[in-house]
């Protein structure tokens, strides 16, 4: 990309030394290991905060609950907890998760515990007071974060990590062998005189709860923050001296072929691991305990995480580059190039959205031989340029570009803003004691918001519309935060939606003429007609995200009938998919739906985990809409003469017909639908028929009786053997004449266009008369 290699700039920061400790092995039960390591740090090491890195919100909340149960907190300096247990900790009694976590802690060799405990007895463990150490005795080096994080790596072998009493020894060996946690560590004899101030930290946590990590813990308590990778960078938590790194992260994987996403727990990168270790050296010398071996770190961890452009759809990027005149995006020298499959897939989706069109070009080869080469490229359409003007995904840009009729723009802007922000609605409570009750209450409210009829068929987007509208109304009354808490709506998401609504409204006013929209906090609900039109707009935007309910007749194994009775099919996926549990249409089960996202997850069935694909953001659609609104994904099998033959619509200047169609590569059959006739040879035949009969241009009607071939003869099977018909059709097809507007364009260039072909249908006596007033346009 660059002729001269650009320099790499390193900026040194103030960093205390961090001692990095690897585990001897890399256990699969990293959650168990993180819990045990944290208990040992708290009970054996000097004062200093603990930072634990886990993969997701559920793991964080589980770990927080268990640590609070073991080390109950005392009153905080800001009065957020009493001397017994905090409200957040009062719910450690959710039976299923407790049992699951306890099973993890027991380990694989719990069966051998009985025989080993007969031979030895664990002495009761009393916790010594935290020793006072003189931190001023440490020097303060000036080194880069990554350098400081790794400075001990080469000197601390797996066998030399017992100097602080955390690694090695009989107790550690017995603990890792499994068995009951209470007996292995003497938990039953613990004097709870060293409280642990445990706080969660993840991106979905409300901002006020996130800020608690920066406040001092109650006197006599040790701070312990359980976090996801949100705490890796750009964040310095006070008094953190110990880091427990699981070495894992939850990665969102995107299937470039099917478009299905999946969250998978993977090893993090070496750069991220070093960043995590660096959190222990911000305020004093610290220690990082990695729950994986050095061999795994060296062999399995990648150096850096892949760039985001290689892990997500690039539809918006490709559209912007097409608008810049870059025809061959696949040949562009990206610094971190996306896969060719990603770029090709993006172009295909943009073609389906009609943001791009295919154009055949002819290039003369060098050498003076006169030879030329033809190639097909894709270029942006006017609709595509309009879509690219909006700072949202192209599918949402198309919704905005087509929503200026029937007063739909305010609703379309609100809907697009809500769909563009992730996780607007909470699925579970923030604290464990209110999970089941809150979820049940929220589900009831959302069902009421869904309503009936067209409102219910609009589905999950209707819930977002109602939620945003009600939140804006609550904000005008000054109780937005309370409303969001009561109704399971993320406050941060509502604020993001409001900002995006303002931005989109300004863009619409700037790009569409005669528009003066404002963000109305008291926007009324859409009418029945508007809701039906919004369903059609969502279908137009979700061209490649259509699902059909799996017919029972297609379930080949009888044993699967019960399991698949609620399943759906996607065109690109062989396996069945299911509606998300939070969808308001989950019980309605419409025959055809469009959706916002498909994702794969693992669900527990008994003791076995099974991978399932779910779809969310569901809207019910009518199958007869598909050939009309998303013709690019439909296959026209035949033009039907029933319930009516094809007709010329003078108002829209198009030929309309009923068609027999299928959708996708799977060829799902669709009901007969009235659509614009596809632009092909058959369209030219019907156009010639209506042209000769005078249905398109009234001036030709008097000559109908003099025609040498009747208009209906154009449609006969023998028409190709009639020279005058064959010649006329070839001219129409070559010049892409499919309506009256195209005739007018060509006559503006050549007033005699199609005169000779038309005169072939008339006797010689009529030729001069027709030539005098040609062309026949209005």
* Cross-strand partners of 13: 143
Nearby residues of 199 by Cβ (< 8 Å), 6 or more positions away: 64, 212, 213, 223, 224, 225, 226
Check: CB of residue 583 under 8 Å from CB of residue 548. Answer: no
Residue 7, classed as helix, strand or coil, is: coil
The span from the CA of 739 to the CA of 169, in Å, is: 87
Q: Which two tokens stand for residue 508?
A: 């619409």
Q: Could you write out the three-class secondary structure of 682-729?
A: HHHHHHHHHHHHCCCCHHHHHHHHHCCCCHHHHHCHHHHHCHHHHHHH
Question: Which conformational region is residue 72 in: left (phi greater than 0), alpha (psi within -120 to 50 degrees), or beta?
Answer: beta
Rounded CA gap, 741 and 744, in Å? 5
pLDDT for the residue numbered 153: 36
The pLDDT assigned to 317 comes to 93
* Interval 546-568 mean pLDDT: 85
Which tokens sit at 704? 């109908």
Specify whether the CB–CB gap between 393 and 399 falls below 8 A: no
Q: What is the pLDDT averaged over residues 392-403?
A: 93
Q: Extract the tokens encoding 739.
A: 């309506």
Q: CB neighbours of 611 closer than 8 A, spacing ≥ 6? A: 600, 601, 602
Tokens of 481: 């935060």
Percent of the chain with pLDDT over 90: 44
Burial profile 375-391: b = 16 or more Cβ within 10 angstroms, e = fewer: eeebebbebbebbbbbe
Confidence of residue 368 (pLDDT cuts 50, 70, 90): low
- Whether residue 636 contacts residue 678, with contact meaning beta carbons closer than 8 Å, is answered with yes
Residue 432 pLDDT grade (very low, low, confident, very high; cuts 50, 70, 90)? very low
- In angstroms, rounded to a whole number, what is the distance separating the alpha carbons of residues 317 and 330? 12
Sheet with 619-620: strands ordered across: 248-254, 261-267, 597-605, 608-616, 573-579, 568-570, 546-549, 592-594, 619-620
Q: State the Cα–Cα distance between residues 106 and 109, nearest whole angstrom.
A: 8
Show the tokens assigned to 270: 């070496």
Are 166 and 173 contacting, i.e. CB atoms less than 8 angstroms apart? no
Q: How far is CA 318 from CA 237, 351, 507, 554, 763, in A?
A: 40, 12, 20, 38, 55
The three-class DSSP label of residue 228 is coil
Half-sphere exposure of 348 (CA within 13 A, CB side): 13
State how far the Cα of 467 lies from the Cα of 33, in Å rounded to an integer: 41
Q: Radius of gyration over alpha carbons of the chain, in Å?
A: 34
DSSP state of 249: E
Residue 431 has pLDDT above 90, yes or no: no
Nearest to 665 by CA among 558, 771, 754, 544: 544
Q: Give me the pLDDT at residue 686, please.
A: 93
Q: How much is the pLDDT for 493?
A: 92
First-to-last alpha carbon distance for the chain, in angstroms, is: 57
| 775 cis-preceded (ω within 30 degrees of 0) | yes
Confidence check: pLDDT of 84 > 50: no
Q: What is the pLDDT of residue 235?
A: 76
Residue 681's CB is within 10 A of a number of other CB atoms, namely 12
Beta strands 372-380 and 673-676, pairing class: unpaired
pLDDT at 621: 96
What contacts 778, CB < 8 A, 6 or more positions away? 697
| Mean pLDDT for all residues in the chain | 81
Residues 372, 358: Cα–Cα separation, whole Å: 19
Q: Which two tokens stand for residue 199?
A: 């706080």
pLDDT in tens, 267-320: 999 999 999 998 898 888 999 999 999 999 999 999 988 888 888 889 999 999
Tell how strand 372-380 and strand 248-254 pair up: unpaired
| Phi and psi angles of residue 659, each rounded to the nearest 5 degrees, phi first | -130, 155
Highest mean pLDDT among 379-383, 633-637, 705-709: 379-383
pLDDT computed for residue 609 by the predictor? 60
- CA within 13 Å, CB half, 545: 22
Q: Which of 8-22, 177-191, 668-682 has the lowest mean pLDDT?
A: 177-191
Handedness of CA 99, 100, 104, 105 (dihedral sign): negative
**The CA-based dihedral angle spanning residues 689, 693, 696, 698, taken in that order and rounded to the nearest 10 degrees:** 170
Let me know how long the chain is. 778
Q: How far apart are CA 417 and CA 400, in angstroms?
A: 11
Q: Categorize the per-residue pLDDT at 438 as very low, low, confident or very high, splitting at 50, 70 and 90.
A: confident
| pLDDT at residue 142 greater than cutoff 80 | no
Instruction: Report pLDDT for 220.
Output: 86
Task: Give SS3 for 294.
Answer: helix
pLDDT of residue 103: 47
Query: Where is mean pLDDT largest: 34-48, 105-119, 422-436?
Result: 34-48
| pLDDT surpasses 80 at 45 | yes
Q: Is the pLDDT of residue 527 over 80?
A: yes
Whether the per-residue pLDDT at 102 is higher than 70: the answer is no
The greatest distance separating any two alpha carbons of the chain, rounded to the nearest whole angstrom, comes to 121
Instruction: Write the secondary structure of 542-597 as one string of H (helix), E (strand) and C (coil).
Output: CCCCEEEECCHHHCCCHHHCCCCCCCEEECCEEEEEEECCCCCCCCCCCCEEECCE
User: Cα–Cα distances in Å, from 56 out to 251, 312, 432, 620, 680?
Assistant: 10, 20, 16, 32, 53
Domains in the chain (CATH in brackets) are 18-73+191-305 (3.40.50.300), 310-364+372-387 (1.10.10.10), 393-543 (no CATH), 679-777 (no CATH)
Residues ≥6 apart with Cβ < 8 Å to 646: 639, 655, 656, 657, 677, 686
Helix axes 460-476, 435-450, angle to 10 degrees: 100
Strand pairing of 372-380 and 356-364?
antiparallel
Residue 674: beta bridge partners? 658
pLDDT of residue 370: 65
Q: For residue range 149-182, list pLDDT tens digits in order.
A: 333 333 333 333 333 444 433 333 333 333 455 4
Rounded Cα–Cα distance for residues 652 and 468 (Å): 37
Helix, strand, or coil (residue 626) = helix
Q: 631: which residues sit within 8 A by CB, 6+ positions away?
A: 675, 676, 678
Element (H, E) at 385: helix 382-388
Q: Taking a C-beta distance cutoff of 8 angstroms, is the pair 629, 539 a contact? A: yes
CA 778 to chain centre: 51
User: By CB neighbour count within 10 A (0-12 exposed, 13-18 middle, 19+ buried), where does 616 fall?
Assistant: middle
Residue 101 φ then ψ, to 5°: -70, -40
What is the residue-wise DSSP string for 411-455?
Answer: HHHHHHHHHHSS--B-SS-SSGGGHHHHHHHHHHHHHHHH-STHH
Crossing angle between the packed helical segments 409-420 and 460-476, to the nearest 10 degrees: 100
What stretch of H or E contains 492? helix 491-511
pLDDT value of residue 502: 93
Q: How far apart are CA 559 and CA 568, in angstroms?
A: 17
DSSP structure class, residue 302: -
């Amino acid at each position: 990309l660059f002729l001269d290699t650009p320099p790499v700039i390193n900026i040194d920061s103030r960093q205390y030394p961090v001692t990095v400790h690897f585990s001897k092995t890399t256990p699969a039960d990293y959650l168990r290991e993180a819990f045990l390591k944290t208990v040992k740090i708290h009970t054996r090491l000097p004062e200093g905060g603990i930072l634990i890195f886990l993969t997701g919100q559920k793991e964080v909340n589980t770990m927080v609950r268990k640590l609070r149960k073991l080390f109950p907190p005392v009153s905080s300096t800001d009065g957020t907890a009493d001397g017994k247990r905090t409200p957040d900790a009062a719910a450690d009694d959710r039976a299923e998760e407790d049992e699951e976590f306890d099973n993890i802690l027991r380990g694989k060799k719990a069966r051998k515990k009985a025989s080993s405990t007969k031979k030895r007895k664990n002495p009761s463990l009393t916790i010594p007071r935290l020793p006072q150490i003189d931190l001023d005795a440490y020097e303060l080096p000036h080194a880069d974060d990554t350098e400081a994080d790794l400075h001990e790596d080469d000197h601390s072998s797996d066998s030399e990590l017992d100097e602080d009493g955390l690694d090695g020894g009989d107790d550690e060996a017995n603990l890792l062998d499994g068995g009951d946690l209470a007996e292995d560590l003497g938990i039953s004899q613990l004097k709870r005189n060293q409280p642990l101030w445990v706080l969660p930290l993840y991106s979905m946590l409300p901002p006020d709860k996130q800020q608690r990590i920066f406040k001092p813990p109650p006197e006599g308590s040790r701070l312990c923050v359980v976090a996801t990778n949100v705490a890796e960078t750009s964040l310095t938590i006070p008094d953190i001296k110990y880091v427990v790194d699981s070495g894992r992260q939850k990665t969102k994987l995107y299937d470039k072929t099917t478009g299905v996403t999946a969250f998978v727990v993977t090893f993090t990168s070496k750069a991220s691991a070093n960043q995590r270790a660096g959190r222990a050296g911000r305020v004093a010398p610290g220690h990082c305990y990695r729950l994986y071996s050095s061999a795994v770190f060296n062999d399995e961890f990648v150096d850096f995480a892949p760039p985001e452009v290689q892990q997500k759809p690039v539809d918006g990027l490709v559209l912007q580059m097409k608008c810049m005149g870059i025809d061959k995006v696949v040949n562009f020298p990206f610094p971190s190039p996306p896969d060719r499959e990603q770029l090709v897939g993006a172009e295909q989706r943009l073609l389906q959205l009609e943001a791009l069109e295919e154009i055949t070009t002819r290039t003369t080869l060098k050498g003076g031989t006169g030879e030329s080469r033809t190639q097909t490229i894709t270029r942006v359409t006017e609709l595509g340029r309009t879509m690219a003007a909006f700072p949202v995904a192209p599918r949402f840009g198309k919704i905005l570009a087509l929503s200026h009729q029937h007063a739909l723009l305010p609703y379309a802007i609100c809907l697009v803003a809500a769909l563009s922000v992730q996780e607007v609605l909470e699925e579970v409570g923030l604290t464990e004691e209110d999970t089941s009750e809150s979820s049940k209450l929220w589900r009831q409210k959302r069902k009421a918001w869904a309503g009936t009829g067209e409102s219910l068929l609009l589905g999950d987007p209707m819930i977002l519309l109602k939620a945003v509208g009600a939140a804006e109304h609550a904000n005008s009354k000054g109780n937005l935060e309370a409303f969001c808490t009561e109704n399971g709506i993320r406050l941060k998401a509502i604020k993001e939606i409001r900002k995006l609504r303002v931005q989109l409204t300004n863009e619409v006013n700037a790009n569409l003429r005669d528009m003066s929209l404002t963000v109305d906090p008291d926007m009324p609900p859409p009418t029945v007609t508007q809701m039906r039109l919004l369903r059609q707009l969502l279908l137009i935007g979700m061209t490649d995200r259509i699902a059909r309910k799996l017919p029972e007749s297609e379930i080949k194994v009888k044993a699967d009938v019960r399991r698949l009775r609620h399943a759906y099919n996607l065109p690109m996926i062989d396996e069945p998919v299911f509606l998300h549990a939070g969808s308001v249409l989950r019980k309605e089960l419409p025959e055809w739906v469009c959706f916002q996202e498909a994702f794969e997850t693992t669900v527990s069935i008994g003791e076995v985990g099974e991978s399932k694909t779910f779809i969310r953001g569901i809207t019910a659609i009518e199958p007869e809409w598909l050939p009309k609104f998303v013709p690019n994904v439909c296959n026209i099998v035949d033009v039907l003469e029933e319930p009516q033959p094809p007709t010329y619509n003078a108002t829209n200047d198009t030929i309309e017909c009923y068609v027999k169609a299928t959708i996708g590569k799977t060829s799902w059959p669709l009901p007969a639908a009235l659509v614009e006739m596809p632009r092909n040879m058959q369209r030219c035949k019907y156009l010639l028929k209506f042209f000769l009969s005078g249905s398109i241009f009234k001036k030709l009607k008097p000559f109908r009786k003099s025609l040498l071939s009747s208009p209906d003869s154009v449609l006969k099977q023998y028409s190709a053997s009639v020279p005058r018909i064959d010649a006329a059709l070839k001219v129409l097809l070559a010049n892409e004449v499919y309506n009256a507007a195209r005739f007018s364009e060509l006559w503006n260039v050549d007033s005699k266009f199609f005169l000779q072909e038309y005169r072939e249908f008339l006797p010689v006596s009529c030729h001069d008369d027709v030539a005098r007033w040609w062309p026949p346009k209005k």
